[in-house]
A and B are shown apart, each in its own frame.
Chain A
Amino acid sequence: MKQFAYLGVLAVCLLGTGLLEVFLRARVYRRWLRLILTLVPVVFIFTHWDIYAISQNHWTFDSDYVTGKIAVANVPLEEVCFFIAIPICSILTLEAVRSMRSWPVGDEQASQNTHELNTSVDSNRTGGDEQ
Chain B
Amino acid sequence: MTYTQLAIVGVVVAVSADVFLFRTKLVTRRIFWVSYSIIIFFQLISNGVLTGFGIVRYNGLVILGSSTPVDAPPPMFGAGRVFFAPVEDLFFGFALVLLSLTLWVWLGRRGIQREPMAGPPRFSNRKLRK
**Could you name 15 residue pairs across A and B whose Cβ atoms are closer than 8 Å?**
A25-B121, A30-B116, A33-B113, A34-B112, A38-B104, A62-B54, A90-B97, A98-B119, A104-B29, A105-B105, A106-B109, A110-B111, A121-B115, A127-B122, A127-B127
Q: Are A97 and B107 in contact (CB under 8 A)?
A: no
Q: Is the CB of A33 within 8 A of B112?
A: yes
Q: Is the CB of B119 within 8 A of A105?
A: no
Residues of chain A within 8 A (CB-CB) of B43 are: 86
A120 within 8 A of B: yes
Count, A-B residue pairs, CB within 8 A:
192
Q: Is the CB of A109 within 8 A of B109?
A: yes
- Size category of the binding interface on chain B: 35 or more
With a cutoff of 8 Å between Cβ atoms, the chain A residues found around residue B72 in the complex are none
A sample of 7 more A-B contacts (CB under 8 A), given A13-B46, A58-B3, is A12-B46, A59-B58, A60-B56, A91-B104, A94-B35, A105-B31, A107-B105
Q: Determine whether A72 belongs to the interface, using a CB cutoff of 8 Å to chain B.
A: no
Within the complex, what minimum Cβ distance (angstroms) separates B55 from chain A? Answer: 4
Least Cβ–Cβ distance between A50 and chain B, in angstroms: 10
Question: Given the complex of chains A and B, what is the CA–CA distance between A38 and B14 in angstroms?
Answer: 14
Return chain A residues, CB-CB under 8 Å to B35. Answer: 90, 93-94, 97
- Which chain B residue lies CB-closest to A102? B119
Interchain CB contact under 8 A, B6 and A94: no
A113, CB-defined interface residue at 8 Å: no
C-alpha spacing A99/B29, complex, angstroms: 16
Among B2, B101, B106, B111, the residue within 8 A (CB) of A90 is: B101
Interface residues of B in 76-130 (CB under 8 A from A): 93, 96-97, 99-101, 103-109, 111-123, 126-127, 130
In chain B, what residue has the closest Cβ to A88? B100
Chain B hits for A6, CB < 8 A: 50, 55-56
The interface residues of chain A lying within 8 Å CB-to-CB of B116 are: 27, 30-31, 124, 129
In B20-51, the 8 Å CB interface with A consists of 24-26, 29-32, 34-35, 38-39, 42-43, 46, 49-50
Answer yes or no: B75 CB below 8 A from chain A CBs: no
Beta-carbon contact of A100 and B6 below 8 Å: no
Cβ of A77 < 8 Å from any Cβ of B?
A: no
